[in-house]
DNA sequence: GTACCTGCAAAGCTTTTGCAACTGG
DNA sequence: CCAGTTGCAAAAGCTTTGCAGGTAC
């Protein structure tokens, strides 16, 4: 994790990364951003891109979309259901309520996408971790 | 991607992986499953575990939880909003409607988790990909 | 018998990190 | 000046894959 207490500077690299990202609506991955930024700063490194994306997220200038990543968890229950994830210990519990078919119905009225399914995850602190907090 | 047309066999490895995963409600990652299964099949390899988790998902015996993985996408808009993901081309668009605060409220009445936020993603086929389908 | 599966090891891909040099304020 | 930042390269972490031998059916 990164230290939140740092004083952040406005470097060329940081500025250009932010500008390029704000320009597009394609939600690029880090290496795509690297490619975009290199057109203006040919000597920038991938490491710098990663570090700045982290800092810019902390500063709430951008956000990271973490859905559907490559680190997977597996669930012996094949039925569609929602999950609760603890931000402290990382445990995942099943959510105690049903899928909302309404959400997909709503979405269909608003877009031209063919909606196939949806994923909903709640983020919070599990009772066990709560009880251990100072 | 895996070939869906295969005839799948019931091997010891496949059977034990499924049994062990059904036993727990902890939503383990692949390497945790590997550790669990090795107690019964000490010579099993991690590769076999990965391959079988893939097959078992195809067979709808289990499911993969892909939320909050490590391959991230970045969004120049720091405001909380939902996304639409195309399963064909992988593009991500912003969803054209507002966050449902009701969802968190509902969840609070059902669990002892301290709910901090939620993530909702719709999966579908974007108009462009739809138009190219056979 | 043979298509499918396994163990092993190597490779792949994304992300993180140590380090010495550099720079914004 | 000096804490924060950078480029580079190596390392780390998770997942996939090539291969030769094994196995379910």
Distance (Å) of CA A53 to CA A7, A47, B33, B65: 16, 10, 32, 25
Q: Which residue, of B57, B75, B93, is where some domain finishes? A: B75
The pLDDT, as a whole number, for residue B11 is 96
Highest mean pLDDT among A10-19, A24-33, A118-127, B93-102: A10-19
Greater pLDDT, B94 or A49: A49
pLDDT given for residue B40 in this prediction: 97
- Judged by average pLDDT, the poorest of A37-46, A48-57, A82-91, A106-115 is A82-91
A21 and A46 inside one domain? yes
Q: Which of A49-53, B109-113, B118-122 has the highest mean pLDDT?
A: A49-53
Please check whether residues A49 and A23 belong to one and the same domain: yes
- The answer to whether A65 contacts B92, with C-beta atoms less than 8 Å apart, is yes
Calpha distance A124→A126 (Å, rounded): 7
CA-closest candidate to residue A94, choices A81, A108, A107: A81
Task: Measure A127 CA to D3 C1' (Å).
Answer: 39
A2 touches strand D (CB under 7 A): no
Reply yes or no on whether the pLDDT at B72 is more than 70.
no
- The answer to whether residues B27 and B90 belong to one domain is no
Q: What is the distance between the alpha carbons of residues B133 and B7, in angstroms, rounded to a whole number? A: 27
* List of chain B residues whose C-beta atoms are within 8 Å of the C-beta of residue A108: none
Q: Please give the residue range of the domain that contains residue B41.
A: 1-75
Q: Mean pLDDT for chain B? A: 81
Return the H-helix or E-strand segment holding B114. strand B114-125
The helix (run of H) or strand (run of E) holding residue A118 is strand A114-125
Nearest-angstrom CA–CA distance, B131 and A19: 33
Examine the domain organization and report whether A44 and A90 are in the same domain.
no
* Cβ distance of A106 and B97 shorter than 8 Å: yes
**Residue A71: its pLDDT value, please?**
45
DSSP strand pairing (B114-125 vs B83-86): parallel
Percent over 90 (pLDDT), chain B: 31
Put simply, the answer to whether A97 touches B106 (Cβ < 8 Å) is yes
Domain boundary among B43, B60, B75: B75
Tokens 């990164």 — which residue?
A: A2
Please state the domain count of chain A.
Answer: 2
Q: Are residues A65 and A50 in the same domain?
A: yes
pLDDT(A67) > 60:
no
Q: Which of A25, A40, A75 is the last residue of a domain?
A: A75
């Amino acid at each position: 994790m990164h230290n939140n207490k740092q004083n952040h500077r406005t470097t060329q690299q940081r500025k250009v990364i932010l500008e390029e990202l704000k320009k597009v609506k394609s939600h690029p991955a880090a290496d795509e951003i690297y490619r975009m930024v290199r057109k203006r700063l040919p000597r920038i490194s991938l490491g710098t891109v990663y570090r700045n994306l982290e800092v810019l997220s902390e500063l709430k200038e951008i956000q990271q979309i973490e859905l559907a990543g490559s680190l997977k968890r597996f669930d012996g229950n094949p039925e569609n259901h929602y999950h609760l994830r603890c931000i402290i210990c990382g445990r995942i519990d099943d959510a105690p309520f049903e899928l909302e078919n309404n959400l997909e119905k709503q979405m269909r009225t608003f877009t031209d996408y063919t909606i196939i399914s949806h994923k909903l995850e709640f983020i919070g602190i599990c009772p066990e971790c709560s009880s251990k907090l100072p």
